[in-house]
Amino acid sequence: MDLSTKIEETRKRFAQELSAASTQEERDRVKNRYLSGPKCVLRGLFGELGRLSPAQKADGGRALNALKGELEEACRALAQQDRREKEHKLPPDPSLPGRLPPLGRRHPVTQTMDDVIEVFARLGFDVVHGPEIENERNNFQALNIPLDHPSRDAFDTFYLEPPWLLRSHTSPVQVRTMLRRKPPIRVIAPGKVFRPDKADASHLPMFHQVEGLAVGEGVTFAQLKGVLLLFAESMFGVGTQVRFRPSFFPFTEPSAEVDISCFICGAKGCSACKGSGWMEILGAGMVHPHVFEAVGLDPGRFTGFAFGMGIERICMLRHGVADIRYFLENHLRFLEQF
């Protein structure tokens, strides 16, 4: 009988004997006979390799190793089944501690969002929401972004059936709020925004922003600075400084980009702040008179400040996350760190 026939026979015989064995003891005996010790069946078969030509030896060796793996796996599977059945038969023990289900947690982006909301809530800002499907008027025109103006490119947009689109920023919630409420207004608007950007380390086609708006008689840029300084210190630690750089947004005048002193290196310059000592975290400014006009408020009587920030970006700065796509990959090894 050649080796491959013997292997086939052994496979069959083993299966028969194993299924005939009704106790773990009997199964162990079958297992030992085939798999353990110098006199076991498998060792015997391996011994026969010596009589074969080198080419046959290689094939035979492979076939025998495969057989060995199969037999061991069959024993393991049966033993496991046995264990399960035994567990089943044990009477329940009510004195055992309960099994804790694995606890979930808030997503890191949600945590950052909640922290931002909490700081502004303490400063007296209400939380308001707007729809993710907006119309062009609220997303653009009422915010002083004319149809044909190049600044519209900065808020690249997913268009739906006219006049609908996926909002490209949370600023339209300013418009909705001013149409619904009378000053004094102090609100923040958290939520998802959408832009047709290709996903890379710092872009996703969907991300989160928090918008802020304060409107009243005599609201000043100094108050904006005070509020944002308090925000920066609450969020990133006492002693954090803020820096306002002149900038342009159609819906504010004057406008500023706001940086915070790097909380990683204490503004000395490191890789997190790219050596500058500062990190850009938001855009802000005084509400443009055209925006007031669009919502029927008198720009001669009211002034206001507004700001908007990207939450993923702040979350990445806080935790040193190198790639924004990690937030969407749902890998527990990433998410469980927060």
Q: Which residues bind ligand DAH (CB under 6 A)?
A: 169, 171, 211, 249, 252, 283-285, 306-308
Least distance from ligand DAH to the Cβ atom of residue 195, Å: 9
Residue 140 or 249 with smaller CB distance to ligand DAH: 249
Largest distance between two CA atoms of the chain = 106
Residue 17 or 257 with smaller CB distance to ligand DAH: 257
Least distance from ligand DAH to the Cβ atom of residue 306, Å: 3
Task: Provide φ and ψ at 246, rounded to 5°.
Answer: -55, 140
- Confirm if 210 and 125 have CB atoms less than 8 A apart: no
Least distance from ligand DAH to the Cβ atom of residue 88, Å: 59
Residue 187 or 321 with smaller CB distance to ligand DAH: 187
User: What length is written for the chain?
Assistant: 338
Least distance from ligand DAH to the Cβ atom of residue 208, Å: 11
Tokens in use for 86?
């035994």
Residue 28 or 257 with smaller CB distance to ligand DAH: 257
Least distance from ligand DAH to the Cβ atom of residue 179, Å: 16
Name the pairing type of β-strands 303-310 and 278-287: antiparallel
Residue 60 or 308 with smaller CB distance to ligand DAH: 308
Tokens in use for 132?
């993710």
Count CB neighbours of 188 within 10 A.
24
Least distance from ligand DAH to the Cβ atom of residue 283, Å: 3
Least distance from ligand DAH to the Cβ atom of residue 169, Å: 3
Residue 34 or 302 with smaller CB distance to ligand DAH: 302
Least distance from ligand DAH to the Cβ atom of residue 212, Å: 7
Residue 10 or 144 with smaller CB distance to ligand DAH: 144
Residue nearest to ligand DAH (CB): 308
Task: Convert the chain into a string of H (helix), E (strand) and C (coil).
Answer: CCHHHHHHHHHHHHHHHHHHCCCHHHHHHHHHHHHCCCCCHHHHHHHHHHHCCHHHHHHHHHHHHHHHHHHHHHHHHHHHHHHHHHHHHCCCCCCCCCCCCCCCCCCHHHHHHHHHHHHHHHCCCEECCCCCEEEHHHHCHHHCCCCCCHHHHHHCCEECCCCEEECCCCCHHHHHHHHHCCCCEEEEEEEEEECCCCCECCECCEEEEEEEEEEECCCCHHHHHHHHHHHHHHHHCCCCCEEEEEEEECCEEEEEEEEEECCCCCCCCCCCCCCCCEEEEEEEEEECHHHHHHCCCCCCCCEEEEEEEEHHHHHHHHHCCCCHHHHHCCCHHHHCCC
Q: Which residue has the tokens 């997190």?
A: 272
Residue 231 or 249 with smaller CB distance to ligand DAH: 249
Least distance from ligand DAH to the Cβ atom of residue 309, Å: 7
Residue 86 or 137 with smaller CB distance to ligand DAH: 137
